[in-house]
Amino acid sequence: MADPDRARGGLDALPAAPVVVLVGTQLGENVGTTARAMLNFGLFDLRLVRPKCGWPNVKALNACSGAVEVLNRVQLFESVEAATADLHRLYATTARPRDLAKPVITAAAAALETRAAQARGERVGLLFGPEKSGLSNDDLIYADAVLSIPLNPAFTSLNLAQAVLLVAYEWFKAGDLTPPRQEAAPAGRPATKGELDGLVEHLLRQLDAVDFFRAPDRRLSLARTIRLVFERARLHEPDVHLLHGIIKSLARGGTRDGS
Amino acid sequence: MADPDRARGGLDALPAAPVVVLVGTQLGENVGTTARAMLNFGLFDLRLVRPKCGWPNVKALNACSGAVEVLNRVQLFESVEAATADLHRLYATTARPRDLAKPVITAAAAALETRAAQARGERVGLLFGPEKSGLSNDDLIYADAVLSIPLNPAFTSLNLAQAVLLVAYEWFKAGDLTPPRQEAAPAGRPATKGELDGLVEHLLRQLDAVDFFRAPDRRLSLARTIRLVFERARLHEPDVHLLHGIIKSLARGGTRDGS
Protein backbone atom coordinates (compact mmCIF):
# COMPACT_ATOMS: atom_id res chain seq x y z
CA MET A 1 0.00 0.00 0.00
CA ALA A 2 3.09 2.21 0.26
CA ASP A 3 2.99 3.43 -3.31
CA PRO A 4 -0.35 2.60 -4.86
CA ASP A 5 0.15 4.97 -7.80
CA ARG A 6 3.25 3.17 -8.92
CA ALA A 7 1.52 -0.19 -8.44
CA ARG A 8 -1.46 0.87 -10.53
CA GLY A 9 0.92 2.22 -13.15
CA GLY A 10 2.53 -1.22 -13.47
CA LEU A 11 -0.75 -3.02 -13.91
CA ASP A 12 -2.21 -0.37 -16.19
CA ALA A 13 0.57 -1.14 -18.63
CA LEU A 14 -0.91 -4.65 -19.10
CA PRO A 15 -3.44 -5.27 -21.89
CA ALA A 16 -7.13 -5.76 -21.04
CA ALA A 17 -7.60 -9.12 -19.33
CA PRO A 18 -10.45 -11.09 -17.78
CA VAL A 19 -11.72 -10.01 -14.35
CA VAL A 20 -11.58 -12.68 -11.61
CA VAL A 21 -14.53 -12.76 -9.20
CA LEU A 22 -14.11 -14.90 -6.06
CA VAL A 23 -17.31 -15.65 -4.15
CA GLY A 24 -17.28 -16.41 -0.39
CA THR A 25 -13.59 -17.32 -0.24
CA GLN A 26 -12.79 -18.99 3.08
CA LEU A 27 -8.99 -18.73 3.31
CA GLY A 28 -6.98 -15.55 2.91
CA GLU A 29 -4.05 -17.60 1.60
CA ASN A 30 -6.18 -18.58 -1.37
CA VAL A 31 -6.82 -14.94 -2.27
CA GLY A 32 -3.04 -14.41 -2.18
CA THR A 33 -2.17 -17.44 -4.29
CA THR A 34 -4.98 -16.50 -6.70
CA ALA A 35 -3.47 -13.02 -7.11
CA ARG A 36 -0.12 -14.63 -7.87
CA ALA A 37 -1.63 -17.05 -10.40
CA MET A 38 -3.49 -14.15 -12.06
CA LEU A 39 -0.41 -11.97 -12.41
CA ASN A 40 1.59 -14.90 -13.84
CA PHE A 41 -0.69 -14.60 -16.85
CA GLY A 42 -1.34 -10.87 -16.91
CA LEU A 43 -4.70 -10.78 -15.06
CA PHE A 44 -4.97 -7.98 -12.49
CA ASP A 45 -8.63 -7.15 -11.74
CA LEU A 46 -9.64 -9.20 -8.66
CA ARG A 47 -13.09 -8.78 -7.09
CA LEU A 48 -14.24 -10.41 -3.86
CA VAL A 49 -17.89 -11.10 -3.11
CA ARG A 50 -18.61 -11.49 0.64
CA PRO A 51 -15.17 -13.05 1.44
CA LYS A 52 -15.51 -15.24 4.54
CA CYS A 53 -11.81 -14.66 5.26
CA GLY A 54 -12.40 -10.93 5.69
CA TRP A 55 -10.64 -8.12 3.83
CA PRO A 56 -7.96 -6.74 3.95
CA ASN A 57 -6.23 -9.96 4.95
CA VAL A 58 -2.60 -10.34 6.02
CA LYS A 59 -2.47 -14.03 5.06
CA ALA A 60 -3.35 -13.08 1.49
CA LEU A 61 -0.44 -10.63 1.44
CA ASN A 62 1.94 -13.26 2.80
CA ALA A 63 0.86 -15.82 0.20
CA CYS A 64 0.91 -13.63 -2.91
CA SER A 65 4.65 -14.02 -3.65
CA GLY A 66 4.97 -10.42 -4.73
CA ALA A 67 1.67 -9.96 -6.56
CA VAL A 68 0.90 -7.13 -4.10
CA GLU A 69 -0.26 -4.81 -6.86
CA VAL A 70 -3.19 -7.11 -7.58
CA LEU A 71 -4.18 -7.26 -3.90
CA ASN A 72 -3.87 -3.47 -3.54
CA ARG A 73 -6.66 -2.91 -6.03
CA VAL A 74 -9.01 -5.68 -4.92
CA GLN A 75 -12.64 -4.51 -4.94
CA LEU A 76 -15.26 -5.76 -2.48
CA PHE A 77 -18.89 -6.49 -3.40
CA GLU A 78 -22.02 -7.61 -1.60
CA SER A 79 -23.35 -9.77 -4.45
CA VAL A 80 -22.34 -11.51 -7.68
CA GLU A 81 -24.87 -9.27 -9.41
CA ALA A 82 -23.03 -6.15 -8.25
CA ALA A 83 -19.57 -7.57 -8.93
CA THR A 84 -20.44 -8.46 -12.52
CA ALA A 85 -22.72 -5.56 -13.46
CA ASP A 86 -20.19 -3.98 -15.86
CA LEU A 87 -19.21 -7.25 -17.56
CA HIS A 88 -20.51 -8.40 -20.94
CA ARG A 89 -19.75 -12.08 -20.50
CA LEU A 90 -19.24 -14.30 -17.50
CA TYR A 91 -17.81 -17.82 -17.20
CA ALA A 92 -18.36 -19.79 -14.01
CA THR A 93 -15.88 -22.40 -12.85
CA THR A 94 -17.22 -25.10 -10.62
CA ALA A 95 -15.98 -28.55 -9.74
CA ARG A 96 -19.57 -29.67 -9.36
CA PRO A 97 -21.50 -28.73 -12.51
CA ARG A 98 -25.15 -28.85 -11.54
CA ASP A 99 -28.09 -29.57 -13.80
CA LEU A 100 -28.34 -25.98 -14.84
CA ALA A 101 -29.44 -24.97 -18.27
CA LYS A 102 -25.96 -23.65 -19.12
CA PRO A 103 -23.51 -24.67 -21.83
CA VAL A 104 -20.35 -26.37 -20.54
CA ILE A 105 -17.18 -25.20 -22.23
CA THR A 106 -13.52 -26.17 -21.84
CA ALA A 107 -11.08 -23.59 -20.48
CA ALA A 108 -9.29 -23.61 -23.84
CA ALA A 109 -12.49 -22.93 -25.82
CA ALA A 110 -13.48 -20.20 -23.35
CA ALA A 111 -10.08 -18.57 -23.85
CA LEU A 112 -10.72 -18.28 -27.60
CA GLU A 113 -14.26 -16.94 -27.02
CA THR A 114 -12.85 -14.46 -24.50
CA ARG A 115 -10.19 -13.17 -26.89
CA ALA A 116 -12.86 -12.72 -29.58
CA ALA A 117 -15.16 -10.90 -27.14
CA GLN A 118 -12.31 -8.66 -25.99
CA ALA A 119 -11.49 -7.83 -29.61
CA ARG A 120 -15.08 -6.48 -29.82
CA GLY A 121 -14.39 -4.34 -26.72
CA GLU A 122 -16.34 -6.57 -24.32
CA ARG A 123 -15.32 -7.17 -20.69
CA VAL A 124 -15.17 -10.80 -19.59
CA GLY A 125 -15.31 -12.21 -16.07
CA LEU A 126 -14.32 -15.53 -14.48
CA LEU A 127 -16.40 -16.56 -11.47
CA PHE A 128 -15.08 -18.92 -8.78
CA GLY A 129 -17.01 -20.18 -5.74
CA PRO A 130 -16.08 -20.97 -2.13
CA GLU A 131 -13.36 -23.62 -1.62
CA LYS A 132 -15.58 -26.32 -0.14
CA SER A 133 -19.02 -25.84 -1.65
CA GLY A 134 -18.40 -24.25 -5.03
CA LEU A 135 -20.84 -21.83 -6.62
CA SER A 136 -24.51 -21.97 -5.67
CA ASN A 137 -27.21 -22.18 -8.31
CA ASP A 138 -28.15 -18.62 -7.37
CA ASP A 139 -24.66 -17.46 -8.38
CA LEU A 140 -24.39 -19.70 -11.46
CA ILE A 141 -27.51 -18.10 -12.92
CA TYR A 142 -25.46 -15.04 -13.94
CA ALA A 143 -22.99 -17.05 -16.01
CA ASP A 144 -23.09 -17.42 -19.80
CA ALA A 145 -21.38 -20.79 -19.57
CA VAL A 146 -19.77 -23.15 -17.09
CA LEU A 147 -16.04 -23.76 -17.54
CA SER A 148 -14.74 -27.30 -17.36
CA ILE A 149 -11.10 -28.21 -16.72
CA PRO A 150 -10.30 -31.71 -17.98
CA LEU A 151 -8.95 -33.76 -15.02
CA ASN A 152 -8.10 -37.34 -14.10
CA PRO A 153 -11.59 -38.45 -13.02
CA ALA A 154 -10.03 -40.53 -10.22
CA PHE A 155 -8.41 -37.47 -8.59
CA THR A 156 -10.13 -34.15 -9.16
CA SER A 157 -8.89 -32.29 -6.07
CA LEU A 158 -7.80 -28.92 -7.49
CA ASN A 159 -7.42 -25.92 -5.23
CA LEU A 160 -8.79 -22.46 -5.98
CA ALA A 161 -5.52 -20.89 -7.10
CA GLN A 162 -4.71 -23.90 -9.31
CA ALA A 163 -8.07 -23.58 -11.05
CA VAL A 164 -7.43 -19.86 -11.56
CA LEU A 165 -3.89 -20.66 -12.78
CA LEU A 166 -5.15 -23.06 -15.47
CA VAL A 167 -7.94 -20.79 -16.71
CA ALA A 168 -5.62 -17.75 -16.73
CA TYR A 169 -2.94 -19.79 -18.52
CA GLU A 170 -5.36 -20.71 -21.29
CA TRP A 171 -6.32 -17.07 -21.71
CA PHE A 172 -2.70 -15.92 -21.87
CA LYS A 173 -1.77 -18.69 -24.28
CA ALA A 174 -4.63 -17.76 -26.63
CA GLY A 175 -2.91 -14.42 -27.22
CA ASP A 176 0.68 -15.60 -27.01
CA LEU A 177 2.84 -15.66 -30.11
CA THR A 178 5.63 -17.95 -28.86
CA PRO A 179 6.38 -20.36 -31.70
CA PRO A 180 5.60 -23.98 -30.70
CA ARG A 181 9.19 -24.96 -31.37
CA GLN A 182 12.33 -22.92 -31.70
CA GLU A 183 15.29 -24.82 -33.01
CA ALA A 184 18.53 -24.93 -31.09
CA ALA A 185 21.17 -22.39 -31.98
CA PRO A 186 24.47 -24.19 -31.34
CA ALA A 187 27.79 -22.41 -31.69
CA GLY A 188 28.84 -21.46 -35.22
CA ARG A 189 26.80 -21.70 -38.39
CA PRO A 190 25.03 -24.84 -39.67
CA ALA A 191 27.28 -27.15 -41.67
CA THR A 192 26.85 -27.05 -45.44
CA LYS A 193 25.85 -30.19 -47.29
CA GLY A 194 29.35 -30.18 -48.76
CA GLU A 195 30.94 -30.18 -45.30
CA LEU A 196 28.66 -33.05 -44.29
CA ASP A 197 29.68 -34.96 -47.46
CA GLY A 198 33.33 -34.39 -46.56
CA LEU A 199 32.75 -35.76 -43.06
CA VAL A 200 30.90 -38.85 -44.25
CA GLU A 201 33.55 -39.49 -46.91
CA HIS A 202 36.30 -39.17 -44.31
CA LEU A 203 34.55 -41.70 -42.05
CA LEU A 204 33.88 -44.11 -44.93
CA ARG A 205 37.53 -43.91 -46.03
CA GLN A 206 38.74 -44.82 -42.56
CA LEU A 207 36.16 -47.61 -42.25
CA ASP A 208 37.27 -48.96 -45.65
CA ALA A 209 40.83 -49.00 -44.37
CA VAL A 210 39.83 -51.36 -41.53
CA ASP A 211 37.52 -53.39 -43.82
CA PHE A 212 34.53 -52.47 -41.65
CA PHE A 213 31.98 -53.10 -44.43
CA ARG A 214 33.24 -56.46 -45.71
CA ALA A 215 30.85 -56.46 -48.74
CA PRO A 216 30.00 -53.69 -51.28
CA ASP A 217 26.19 -53.97 -50.85
CA ARG A 218 26.61 -53.78 -47.08
CA ARG A 219 28.74 -50.68 -47.58
CA LEU A 220 26.01 -49.09 -49.70
CA SER A 221 23.27 -49.53 -47.13
CA LEU A 222 25.41 -48.67 -44.08
CA ALA A 223 26.78 -45.59 -45.80
CA ARG A 224 23.19 -44.41 -46.26
CA THR A 225 22.43 -45.02 -42.57
CA ILE A 226 25.55 -43.11 -41.52
CA ARG A 227 24.55 -40.18 -43.71
CA LEU A 228 21.04 -40.19 -42.21
CA VAL A 229 22.45 -40.14 -38.67
CA PHE A 230 24.67 -37.15 -39.45
CA GLU A 231 21.80 -35.34 -41.21
CA ARG A 232 19.52 -35.84 -38.19
CA ALA A 233 22.15 -34.43 -35.87
CA ARG A 234 21.86 -31.03 -37.61
CA LEU A 235 25.61 -30.53 -37.26
CA HIS A 236 27.16 -27.10 -37.12
CA GLU A 237 30.54 -26.25 -38.58
CA PRO A 238 32.44 -26.63 -35.25
CA ASP A 239 30.83 -30.08 -34.74
CA VAL A 240 32.05 -31.18 -38.18
CA HIS A 241 35.53 -29.99 -37.29
CA LEU A 242 35.42 -31.90 -33.96
CA LEU A 243 34.19 -35.09 -35.64
CA HIS A 244 36.95 -34.96 -38.27
CA GLY A 245 39.43 -34.83 -35.39
CA ILE A 246 37.76 -37.74 -33.59
CA ILE A 247 37.77 -39.96 -36.70
CA LYS A 248 41.39 -39.10 -37.38
CA SER A 249 42.44 -39.90 -33.82
CA LEU A 250 40.53 -43.17 -33.67
CA ALA A 251 41.96 -44.26 -37.02
CA ARG A 252 45.51 -43.39 -36.01
CA GLY A 253 45.22 -45.20 -32.67
CA GLY A 254 43.25 -48.10 -34.13
CA THR A 255 44.40 -51.44 -32.74
CA ARG A 256 42.53 -53.46 -35.35
CA ASP A 257 41.62 -55.93 -32.66
CA GLY A 258 37.98 -55.69 -33.70
CA SER A 259 36.84 -53.63 -30.70
CA MET B 1 2.14 -47.04 3.24
CA ALA B 2 -0.57 -49.15 4.90
CA ASP B 3 -1.76 -50.84 1.76
CA PRO B 4 0.76 -50.35 -1.03
CA ASP B 5 -0.67 -53.16 -3.15
CA ARG B 6 -4.00 -51.48 -3.38
CA ALA B 7 -2.32 -48.15 -4.10
CA ARG B 8 -0.26 -49.64 -6.90
CA GLY B 9 -3.36 -51.29 -8.27
CA GLY B 10 -5.09 -47.90 -8.50
CA LEU B 11 -2.22 -46.28 -10.36
CA ASP B 12 -1.61 -49.27 -12.60
CA ALA B 13 -5.11 -48.78 -13.96
CA LEU B 14 -4.01 -45.43 -15.43
CA PRO B 15 -2.71 -45.28 -19.01
CA ALA B 16 1.03 -44.76 -19.65
CA ALA B 17 1.99 -41.20 -18.73
CA PRO B 18 5.15 -39.11 -18.63
CA VAL B 19 7.62 -39.70 -15.79
CA VAL B 20 8.42 -36.67 -13.60
CA VAL B 21 12.05 -36.33 -12.47
CA LEU B 22 12.74 -33.74 -9.74
CA VAL B 23 16.39 -32.81 -9.25
CA GLY B 24 17.71 -31.53 -5.90
CA THR B 25 14.31 -30.50 -4.54
CA GLN B 26 14.73 -28.34 -1.44
CA LEU B 27 11.29 -28.47 0.19
CA GLY B 28 9.35 -31.63 1.02
CA GLU B 29 6.09 -29.69 0.58
CA ASN B 30 6.97 -29.21 -3.07
CA VAL B 31 7.34 -32.95 -3.60
CA GLY B 32 3.86 -33.37 -2.06
CA THR B 33 2.20 -30.64 -4.13
CA THR B 34 3.97 -31.99 -7.22
CA ALA B 35 2.51 -35.46 -6.55
CA ARG B 36 -0.93 -33.89 -6.26
CA ALA B 37 -0.53 -31.90 -9.49
CA MET B 38 0.68 -35.05 -11.27
CA LEU B 39 -2.25 -37.19 -10.16
CA ASN B 40 -4.72 -34.45 -11.17
CA PHE B 41 -3.70 -35.22 -14.72
CA GLY B 42 -3.00 -38.94 -14.48
CA LEU B 43 0.80 -38.87 -13.99
CA PHE B 44 2.07 -41.28 -11.32
CA ASP B 45 5.77 -42.08 -11.84
CA LEU B 46 7.78 -39.66 -9.68
CA ARG B 47 11.57 -39.92 -9.43
CA LEU B 48 13.78 -37.88 -7.12
CA VAL B 49 17.43 -37.18 -7.86
CA ARG B 50 19.45 -36.27 -4.73
CA PRO B 51 16.52 -34.54 -2.96
CA LYS B 52 17.90 -31.90 -0.54
CA CYS B 53 14.73 -32.28 1.54
CA GLY B 54 15.53 -35.93 2.29
CA TRP B 55 13.30 -38.93 1.59
CA PRO B 56 10.88 -40.20 2.87
CA ASN B 57 9.57 -36.82 3.97
CA VAL B 58 6.57 -36.19 6.23
CA LYS B 59 5.99 -32.67 4.85
CA ALA B 60 5.53 -34.17 1.40
CA LEU B 61 2.87 -36.51 2.77
CA ASN B 62 1.08 -33.63 4.51
CA ALA B 63 1.07 -31.51 1.36
CA CYS B 64 -0.05 -34.12 -1.18
CA SER B 65 -3.83 -33.76 -0.55
CA GLY B 66 -4.40 -37.47 -0.91
CA ALA B 67 -2.00 -38.29 -3.72
CA VAL B 68 -0.29 -40.74 -1.33
CA GLU B 69 -0.15 -43.49 -3.95
CA VAL B 70 2.23 -41.38 -6.01
CA LEU B 71 4.50 -40.73 -3.01
CA ASN B 72 4.46 -44.41 -2.03
CA ARG B 73 6.16 -45.41 -5.24
CA VAL B 74 8.66 -42.57 -5.49
CA GLN B 75 12.06 -43.82 -6.69
CA LEU B 76 15.36 -42.29 -5.55
CA PHE B 77 18.36 -41.81 -7.82
CA GLU B 78 21.90 -40.53 -7.46
CA SER B 79 22.05 -38.84 -10.87
CA VAL B 80 19.89 -37.58 -13.73
CA GLU B 81 21.67 -40.09 -15.93
CA ALA B 82 20.47 -42.99 -13.75
CA ALA B 83 16.95 -41.57 -13.31
CA THR B 84 16.44 -41.23 -17.05
CA ALA B 85 18.30 -44.31 -18.32
CA ASP B 86 15.10 -46.13 -19.38
CA LEU B 87 13.48 -43.11 -21.07
CA HIS B 88 13.41 -42.50 -24.82
CA ARG B 89 12.77 -38.78 -24.67
CA LEU B 90 13.34 -36.13 -22.03
CA TYR B 91 12.03 -32.58 -21.74
CA ALA B 92 13.65 -30.18 -19.30
CA THR B 93 11.68 -27.36 -17.72
CA THR B 94 13.68 -24.40 -16.55
CA ALA B 95 12.76 -20.83 -15.79
CA ARG B 96 16.23 -19.78 -16.87
CA PRO B 97 16.86 -21.21 -20.34
CA ARG B 98 20.62 -21.07 -20.81
CA ASP B 99 22.52 -20.76 -24.03
CA LEU B 100 22.47 -24.48 -24.58
CA ALA B 101 22.25 -25.97 -28.02
CA LYS B 102 18.74 -27.32 -27.32
CA PRO B 103 15.44 -26.63 -29.07
CA VAL B 104 12.94 -24.66 -26.98
CA ILE B 105 9.39 -25.97 -27.21
CA THR B 106 6.12 -24.85 -25.65
CA ALA B 107 4.42 -27.14 -23.15
CA ALA B 108 1.51 -27.55 -25.60
CA ALA B 109 3.78 -28.59 -28.48
CA ALA B 110 5.69 -30.96 -26.18
CA ALA B 111 2.39 -32.57 -25.17
CA LEU B 112 1.63 -33.41 -28.80
CA GLU B 113 5.16 -34.75 -29.37
CA THR B 114 4.84 -36.81 -26.17
CA ARG B 115 1.54 -38.36 -27.23
CA ALA B 116 3.03 -39.26 -30.60
CA ALA B 117 6.12 -40.79 -28.94
CA GLN B 118 3.94 -42.75 -26.52
CA ALA B 119 1.89 -44.08 -29.42
CA ARG B 120 5.17 -45.55 -30.72
CA GLY B 121 5.72 -47.19 -27.33
CA GLU B 122 8.35 -44.69 -26.12
CA ARG B 123 8.74 -43.53 -22.52
CA VAL B 124 8.89 -39.78 -21.98
CA GLY B 125 10.27 -37.87 -18.99
CA LEU B 126 9.84 -34.35 -17.65
CA LEU B 127 12.85 -32.96 -15.79
CA PHE B 128 12.54 -30.19 -13.17
CA GLY B 129 15.41 -28.58 -11.25
CA PRO B 130 15.85 -27.23 -7.72
CA GLU B 131 13.43 -24.47 -6.64
CA LYS B 132 15.97 -21.64 -6.47
CA SER B 133 18.62 -22.42 -9.02
CA GLY B 134 16.86 -24.47 -11.69
CA LEU B 135 18.60 -27.17 -13.70
CA SER B 136 22.34 -26.98 -14.19
CA ASN B 137 23.90 -27.24 -17.63
CA ASP B 138 25.22 -30.66 -16.59
CA ASP B 139 21.63 -31.86 -16.10
CA LEU B 140 20.19 -30.07 -19.13
CA ILE B 141 22.60 -31.94 -21.39
CA TYR B 142 20.40 -35.07 -21.14
CA ALA B 143 17.28 -33.31 -22.44
CA ASP B 144 15.99 -33.49 -26.01
CA ALA B 145 14.40 -30.08 -25.65
CA VAL B 146 13.75 -27.33 -23.14
CA LEU B 147 10.09 -26.69 -22.27
CA SER B 148 8.85 -23.13 -22.14
CA ILE B 149 5.69 -22.03 -20.36
CA PRO B 150 4.38 -18.73 -21.74
CA LEU B 151 4.15 -16.26 -18.83
CA ASN B 152 3.58 -12.55 -18.17
CA PRO B 153 7.19 -11.39 -18.63
CA ALA B 154 6.72 -8.89 -15.78
CA PHE B 155 5.88 -11.63 -13.26
CA THR B 156 7.37 -15.04 -13.93
CA SER B 157 7.40 -16.40 -10.36
CA LEU B 158 5.97 -19.90 -10.78
CA ASN B 159 6.54 -22.53 -8.12
CA LEU B 160 7.63 -26.09 -8.82
CA ALA B 161 4.20 -27.72 -8.43
CA GLN B 162 2.56 -25.05 -10.59
CA ALA B 163 5.07 -25.70 -13.37
CA VAL B 164 4.39 -29.44 -13.07
CA LEU B 165 0.63 -28.72 -13.03
CA LEU B 166 0.73 -26.78 -16.30
CA VAL B 167 2.95 -29.28 -18.14
CA ALA B 168 0.87 -32.24 -16.88
CA TYR B 169 -2.35 -30.40 -17.82
CA GLU B 170 -1.13 -29.95 -21.40
CA TRP B 171 -0.27 -33.64 -21.61
CA PHE B 172 -3.68 -34.72 -20.28
CA LYS B 173 -5.50 -32.29 -22.56
CA ALA B 174 -3.69 -33.62 -25.62
CA GLY B 175 -5.40 -36.96 -25.06
CA ASP B 176 -8.70 -35.67 -23.73
CA LEU B 177 -11.84 -36.00 -25.80
CA THR B 178 -14.05 -33.48 -23.95
CA PRO B 179 -15.86 -31.49 -26.65
CA PRO B 180 -14.86 -27.79 -26.53
CA ARG B 181 -18.48 -26.80 -25.99
CA GLN B 182 -21.48 -28.80 -24.85
CA GLU B 183 -24.76 -27.02 -25.26
CA ALA B 184 -27.10 -26.53 -22.35
CA ALA B 185 -29.82 -29.10 -21.82
CA PRO B 186 -32.71 -27.13 -20.28
CA ALA B 187 -35.88 -28.84 -19.15
CA GLY B 188 -38.12 -30.29 -21.87
CA ARG B 189 -37.36 -30.56 -25.57
CA PRO B 190 -36.28 -27.70 -27.85
CA ALA B 191 -39.17 -25.66 -29.25
CA THR B 192 -40.12 -26.34 -32.87
CA LYS B 193 -39.94 -23.54 -35.41
CA GLY B 194 -43.75 -23.65 -35.49
CA GLU B 195 -43.99 -23.10 -31.73
CA LEU B 196 -41.58 -20.20 -32.07
CA ASP B 197 -43.73 -18.71 -34.89
CA GLY B 198 -46.79 -19.04 -32.67
CA LEU B 199 -45.04 -17.19 -29.85
CA VAL B 200 -43.82 -14.36 -32.07
CA GLU B 201 -47.29 -14.05 -33.68
CA HIS B 202 -48.90 -13.88 -30.23
CA LEU B 203 -46.54 -11.10 -29.16
CA LEU B 204 -47.00 -9.17 -32.42
CA ARG B 205 -50.81 -9.41 -32.10
CA GLN B 206 -50.71 -7.96 -28.60
CA LEU B 207 -48.27 -5.26 -29.66
CA ASP B 208 -50.54 -4.38 -32.60
CA ALA B 209 -53.42 -4.04 -30.14
CA VAL B 210 -51.53 -1.31 -28.25
CA ASP B 211 -50.25 0.27 -31.50
CA PHE B 212 -46.66 -0.37 -30.45
CA PHE B 213 -45.30 -0.24 -34.01
CA ARG B 214 -47.05 2.92 -35.23
CA ALA B 215 -45.88 2.39 -38.90
CA PRO B 216 -45.96 -0.74 -41.11
CA ASP B 217 -42.25 -0.52 -42.13
CA ARG B 218 -41.27 -0.12 -38.48
CA ARG B 219 -43.34 -3.22 -37.70
CA LEU B 220 -41.54 -5.19 -40.38
CA SER B 221 -38.03 -4.45 -39.09
CA LEU B 222 -38.91 -4.78 -35.39
CA ALA B 223 -40.72 -8.07 -36.00
CA ARG B 224 -37.53 -9.38 -37.54
CA THR B 225 -35.48 -8.23 -34.51
CA ILE B 226 -37.97 -9.89 -32.14
CA ARG B 227 -37.74 -13.13 -34.08
CA LEU B 228 -33.91 -13.00 -33.94
CA VAL B 229 -33.96 -12.48 -30.17
CA PHE B 230 -36.22 -15.48 -29.66
CA GLU B 231 -34.13 -17.63 -32.02
CA ARG B 232 -30.93 -16.74 -30.16
CA ALA B 233 -32.51 -17.72 -26.83
CA ARG B 234 -32.75 -21.36 -28.04
CA LEU B 235 -36.12 -21.69 -26.31
CA HIS B 236 -37.42 -25.01 -25.10
CA GLU B 237 -41.07 -25.99 -25.09
CA PRO B 238 -41.66 -25.07 -21.41
CA ASP B 239 -40.07 -21.63 -22.02
CA VAL B 240 -42.49 -21.01 -24.92
CA HIS B 241 -45.38 -21.96 -22.66
CA LEU B 242 -44.13 -19.59 -19.94
CA LEU B 243 -43.67 -16.72 -22.41
CA HIS B 244 -47.21 -17.15 -23.83
CA GLY B 245 -48.45 -16.79 -20.24
CA ILE B 246 -46.33 -13.69 -19.63
CA ILE B 247 -47.53 -11.96 -22.83
CA LYS B 248 -51.13 -12.80 -22.01
CA SER B 249 -50.84 -11.46 -18.46
CA LEU B 250 -49.10 -8.25 -19.52
CA ALA B 251 -51.69 -7.62 -22.24
CA ARG B 252 -54.61 -8.23 -19.89
CA GLY B 253 -53.16 -5.96 -17.19
CA GLY B 254 -51.93 -3.31 -19.62
CA THR B 255 -52.57 0.19 -18.34
CA ARG B 256 -51.72 1.82 -21.68
CA ASP B 257 -49.96 4.58 -19.78
CA GLY B 258 -46.94 4.09 -22.00
CA SER B 259 -44.83 2.35 -19.34
Q: How many whole angstroms separate alpha carbon A47 and alpha carbon A49?
A: 7
Query: Hey, of A36, A113, A181, which one would you mutate to test binding to chain B, going by the most B CBs within 10 A of its CB?
Result: A181
Task: Please indicate whether, in this complex, the C-beta atoms of A186 and B101 are within 8 angstroms of each other.
Answer: yes
Task: Please indicate whether, in this complex, the C-beta atoms of B104 and A66 are within 8 angstroms of each other.
Answer: no
> Which of A26-30, A162-166, A252-256 has the lowest average pLDDT?
A252-256
pLDDT at B168: 98
Cis ω before B180 (30° cut-off from 0): no
Residues of A in contact with B141 (CB under 8 A): none
Evaluate if residue B175 carries a pLDDT over 70.
yes
Cis ω before A186 (30° cut-off from 0): no
Task: Please indicate whether, in this complex, the C-beta atoms of B180 and A106 are within 8 angstroms of each other.
Answer: yes
pLDDT at A258: 46
Burial status of residue A239 (CB atoms within 10 A of its CB: 0-12, 13-18, 19 or more) = buried
- Listing from the earlier edge strand, what are the strands of the sheet with B19-23? A181-182, B104-106, B145-148, B89-93, B124-128, B19-23, B46-49, B75-77
Residues of A in contact with B13 (CB under 8 A): 154
Q: How many whole angstroms separate alpha carbon A124 and alpha carbon A182?
A: 32
Evaluate if residue A3 carries a pLDDT over 80.
no
Evaluate if residue B6 carries a pLDDT over 70.
no
pTM score of the predicted model = 0.87
pLDDT digit string, tens, across residues A12-33: 888 899 999 999 999 999 999 9
Q: Closest Cα of chain B to A41: distance in Å?
A: 5
A164 to chain B: closest CA residue: B162
pLDDT at A4: 40
SS3 (DSSP) at B257: coil
Greatest alpha-carbon pair distance for chain B in Å reads: 87
Task: Please indicate whether, in this complex, the C-beta atoms of B106 and A181 are within 8 angstroms of each other.
Answer: yes
Nearest by CB to A180, which of B40, B105, B151?
A: B105
pLDDT digit string, tens, across residues B18-76: 999 999 999 999 999 999 999 999 999 999 999 999 999 999 999 999 999 999 999 99
Torsion sign across C-alpha atoms A250, A254, A256, A257? negative
**Among the listed residues B145, B187, B147, B151, the one whose alpha carbon sits nearest the alpha carbon of residue B164:** B147
